[in-house]
Structure 1
Amino acid sequence: MTSKIVAIQGNHPSKLNPKSDTSIFLANEIQNKYKIFYYEPKNLSIINSKIIAEGFFIKFNYKSKNFFKIFKKQKLNLETCKFILIRQDPPFNLEYISTTYILDQIKKKVRIINDPTSIRNISEKLYSAKYKKFMPNTIFSQNIDEIKNFFKISKNVIIKPIHSFSGNDILLLNKFDQKIINKFIKKHDHIMCQKFLSKIKDGDKRVFIIDGKVAGAISRVPKKGSFLSNLSKGAVPINVDLTKKELKISNLIAKDLKKENIYFSGIDFIDQKLNGDINVTSPTGLKTFFDLSNINLAKVFWKGLKA
């Protein structure tokens, strides 16, 4: 019989912002019912055929300046947990992939959110290629001639690393610059090139999907002079409704992700067009949504898991 433990695989709590962090929000909702065990990906091991994590039990407190308290450091056999939340920041790198292979070995004994096989198979940007008809003109390539042709058609272009996160390393180019793009490819290999949508100035929409259903949405308006809608880049969140078109696309993707064993995800729209980020590794925004709407999607999250 499993004990009443929820394990969180994430960045050290000292690196988290309690005002906006979704991992803390999810833990806070369930910590009166389950003990919260926290560990970093680097501290996950296979020892004598057991999946062991070196970490600590923790309690979060929104009312305290020191928003977390570590109670007991120890090594834990993760098979004793009821749930494991994979919540570290991407990038989707080799360490990330290694942890999914390790956790694969116990996923039939412990409910892991999101499923480690699924997040390994779903590249957040490349997966969006199957929804190309809902997106701005977009290519994925490292072929300089293909990228040059794309610029001729699309003019202003956003280029993104395929495996980065939080708006990091994203560039807006108003003309083809081979030197810049060669340098970008050398650093990131395949890249995503997308026609720039000027209406990003009015904000994008982040849609929250839980257990195959659209659960809510917020808009994020870039700060003045920026084209980045990430909250970590200074964007301002506001309450928002989805259009019929956005809701139809969101419901379609939600059903597909449920078939892929993705329980919790986030997708983004700009000017009613899917921007190509299907966030499945560590979706964010639930605390911000609660602050704006007073709707607690952490309750929805745990209720769906029958926690």
Structure 2
Amino acid sequence: MNLLYVADPLEHFKIYKDTTFAMMREAQRRGHRIAACEPCDLHWQRGGVVQARVRWIELSGGGPEWFTETTLETAALKDFDGVLMRKDPPFDAEFIYATHLLEQAEREGAHVFNRPAALRDHPEKLAIMEWPQFIAPTLVTRSAQEIRRFHDEHRDIILKPLDGMGGMGIFRVQADGLNLGSIIETLNKGGAQTVMVQRYLPEIVDGDKRVLVIGGKPVPYCLARVPQGNDIRGNLAAGARGEARPLTAADRATAEAMGPTLAPRGLLLIGLDIIGTHITEINVTSPTCFQEITEQSGCDVAALFQDALEAAIKAF
């Protein structure tokens, strides 16, 4: 198969932990050809099809020179067996524009994973609204008054921007309400931006669990991101420690309840963030943690993903 990965610049990959690298490595191990491009390389012109300036590469091991570029060419996306959208957040206007180009490529015959429309329809923080039975008390609003009311009710809350990533912009306000006004002003920018507010979940001390769901089925192990020191954030980018663990019965039940609904929408790979028994986010843009889970548990997540990808491509 010829596979195209739409991702961040290859030179910026941290291959010791990068999930897209793990996907590429497994694909190459199976004999597939690998190409890569960035969203900025996508283009379309009337009378033609969606194309990209792509780099055909061969993986050559670890270290800074982890790949060799064999060919640079312009290629139509429809001519690849599969196109994998693996651009990291932020979920900004340029990301949305890229999904529109990818959706046009689908109309021309390309097979894109995750599907572009599904990426747009499932913003990672707001997607949990569809599953109220699995989430903690949550408020989505621009209103400072509503946030204060929510704090009065729950006393210990988490506030975060809808476009944050890696734990950026997350605040905890306890019963004393210290700095609540300043935090609201910072996040909602005078009512111009929407904020998510959730009841604080004390189970965070045991980790924010990343539960991967591939082809509608949960991976048997999750990665618990355990906050360190005085930090409340369960994000590896914020210094949390990752611990691979077998899924609990509750986590498996949640993933098995959601997976069969989400997969048919074109979400081949999702990452559920679960604190205690509550989902806090549904990651669909470029879910990670393949390498950490594999290294600690022996469960080959990249192989599970490649199996599902190949089956999905053959099903078209």
- The TM-score with structure 1 as length reference comes to 0.93
Unaligned runs of 5+ in 1: none
**Which deviates more from structure 2 when the two are superposed, residues 101-110 or residues 136-145?**
101-110
How far residue 9 of structure 1 moved from its aligned partner, in angstroms, is 0.6
Q: Identity percentage over the alignment?
A: 26
How far residue 65 of structure 1 moved from its aligned partner, in angstroms, is 4.1
Q: Provide the residue aligned with 1:251 in structure 2.
A: 256
Q: Provide the residue aligned with 2:35 in structure 1.
A: 37
Distance 1:198 1:306, change over 3 A: same
Equivalent of 2:196, from 192, 197, 202?
Answer: 192
Aligned residues: 303
Q: Does 1:294 align with 2:298?
A: yes
Q: Provide the residue aligned with 2:156 in structure 1.
A: 156
CA distance in 1, matches of 2:242, 2:199: 24
Secondary structure at 2:203 match in 1: helix
**Which deviates more from structure 2 when the two are superposed, residues 19-28 or residues 102-111?**
102-111
CA distance in 2, matches of 1:28, 1:116: 24
How far residue 163 of structure 1 moved from its aligned partner, in angstroms, is 2.2
Counterpart residue identity of residue 271, structure 1: G
Q: Provide the residue aligned with 1:76 in structure 2.
A: 75
Contact 1:160 1:192 in 2 (8 A): yes
Secondary structure at 1:305 match in 2: helix
Q: Does 1:20 align with 2:21?
A: no
Secondary structure at 2:105 match in 1: coil
Runs of 4+ aligned residues of structure 1 deviating over 4 Å after TM superposition are: none
Counterpart residue identity of residue 188, structure 2: I
Q: Provide the residue aligned with 1:142 in structure 2.
A: 142
Q: Provide the residue aligned with 1:212 in structure 2.
A: 216
Q: Provide the residue aligned with 1:85 in structure 2.
A: 84
Q: Provide the residue aligned with 2:314 in structure 1.
A: none
Contact 2:201 2:276 in 1 (8 A): yes
| Cα RMSD after superposing both structures | 1.7
How far residue 161 of structure 1 moved from its aligned partner, in angstroms, is 1.3
CA distance in 1, matches of 2:228, 2:16: 19
Contact 2:15 2:62 in 1 (8 A): no
Counterparts of residues 220-259 of structure 1 (less than 5 Å): 220-259=225-264
Secondary structure at 2:251 match in 1: helix
CA distance in 2, matches of 1:193, 1:49: 46
CA distance in 2, matches of 1:62, 1:195: 45
Counterpart residue identity of residue 38, structure 2: E
**Which deviates more from structure 2 when the two are superposed, residues 242-251 or residues 171-180?**
171-180
